[in-house]
Amino acid sequence: MNNNEIHVIYGNNPCKMVYDILTKTQMAHELNSKMHIGIKPNLVVAKPADQGATTSPFAVEGVIQYLQDNGIKNITIMEGSWVGDNTKQAYRVCGYEELARKYNIPLVDLKDDTFVVRRVEDLDLKICKKAIEVDFLINMPVLKAHCQTLLTCALKNMKGCIPDSEKRRFHSLGLHKPIAYLNKAITPGLIIVDGMCGDLTFEEGGNPVQMDRIIIGKDPVLMDTYAASLLGYGRDEIEYIGIAESIGVGSCDLANAKIYEHDVEMKNSRQFRPSNKARQLSLGRVTAAQACSACYGSLIHALQRMDENHRLKKIKRPIYIGQGFRGKELEGLGVGQCTSKCNKHIGGCPPVAKDIVDFLERG
């Protein structure tokens, strides 16, 4: 398979779909039995895949079956959930402990790993050591929305390969540039996108949209450009895509890409589009500066709960969130420990949505 190829297979059995598409593209010809293969799913939170936030264990099972059937036995699943969540709990809740037992595959919590520093352009990046040590890394993101970057797919999924302290720093750096640069420092050999169902409102799930497809390719920039187009976004709307292309991570040239569709008779004909609900809820209410995704996501969920209960009008004061407000005395409502100098604030890193609702309603 060439870098300018994207293969899409449709259906409702992710295990079989992944196995079939790997067979059709003859991926085994690019691997050998001595390789140590790393599989990096998206287990950002401890929620089952049918909630639209996490990679289906059945999709990962298809990869494992294919690799083992082709004589490759040294396989590791590795992930580091977002700040404030527990990777080991995510492995358990998302069905990965059972998968690991079935195929005798180790599960690595990258939060427990040491790190190495790699420099890209003007930026030093801390990367979990085990993610770099494998011979071939398979990136398995979910096609879904993100409340800050609009889209999370191949490029952003690599953020699970850095320590929690580095995840926080990424937000302080504006998120887009470090995401792009990270993909220059650590490059997966293959990307398998779980497009079975994804939340097109929030990255942490709860509003799943059935899409019934698996997408594979090698170029993470091209894959994200394609994923963005499926959701109605241009590449310029997802800033890190263009940055990644500019530093040589890959190509945004979708017009000249070779896109192959398989089992099109199973294609879901329903249209799916992101709701942009996060943007609507925050507009005119929230001022964010270097806010971490977990904290910002909790706030947006709290606002959604209040909207459902017709209680958004109870919020009379501006809301501040993010590392950019550390040490700043502000008249308003601060969310998270970074806003402790606001005259009213709720602590936590991150605070949970229910507590934020109670706090905002008290005003």
269, pLDDT greater than 80: no
Token representation of residue 237 = 């709307």
pLDDT tens readout for residues 165-213: 999 999 888 889 999 999 999 999 999 999 999 888 767 777 788 899 9
Q: Which residue has the tokens 């994923």?
A: 227
pLDDT confidence of residue 202: 65
- Complete domains list, the chain, with CATH: 5-266 (3.40.50.11440), 277-362 (no CATH)
The percent of residues in the chain predicted with pLDDT above 70, rounded, is 98
Distance separating alpha carbons of residues 61 and 67, to the nearest angstrom: 10
Q: How far apart are the first and last CA of the chain?
A: 56
Q: Is the pLDDT of residue 103 over 70?
A: yes
* CA-based R_g, the chain, Å: 20
The mean per-residue pLDDT over the stretch 251-270 comes to: 90
Q: What amino acid is encoded at 21 in this protein?
A: I
* 273 Cβ neighbours under 8 A, 6+ residues apart: 200, 231, 232
What is the percentage of the chain residues whose pLDDT exceeds 90? Answer: 63
Give the orientation angle of helix 57-69 with respect to helix 14-24, to 10 degrees: 40
Residue 3, Cβ neighbours under 10 Å: how many?
12
Asked if residue 85 lies in contact with residue 46, where contact means CB atoms within 8 angstroms, the answer is yes
Predicted local confidence at residue 275, as pLDDT: 66
CB under 8 Å to 271, separation ≥6 — which residues?
A: none
b vs e for 301-320, b when ≥16 Cβ sit within 10 Å of the residue's Cβ? bbbbbbeeeeeeeebeeebb
Cα 20 from Cα 275, distance rounded (Å): 32
Q: What angle do CA 192, 198, 204 make, to 5 degrees?
A: 105
- Residue 288 sits at φ, ψ, to 5 deg, of -110, 140
The DSSP bridge pattern shows strands 258-262 and 107-109 to be unpaired
pLDDT, mean of residues 242-251: 97
- Please state the φ and ψ torsions of residue 172, each to the nearest 5 degrees: -70, -25
Mean pLDDT in residue range 229-239: 87
Token pair belonging to 114? 């040491």
In tens, the pLDDT along 272-323 reads: 777 677 778 888 888 988 887 778 777 877 888 788 888 888 888 889 998 8
Tell me the two tokens of residue 339. 């806003």
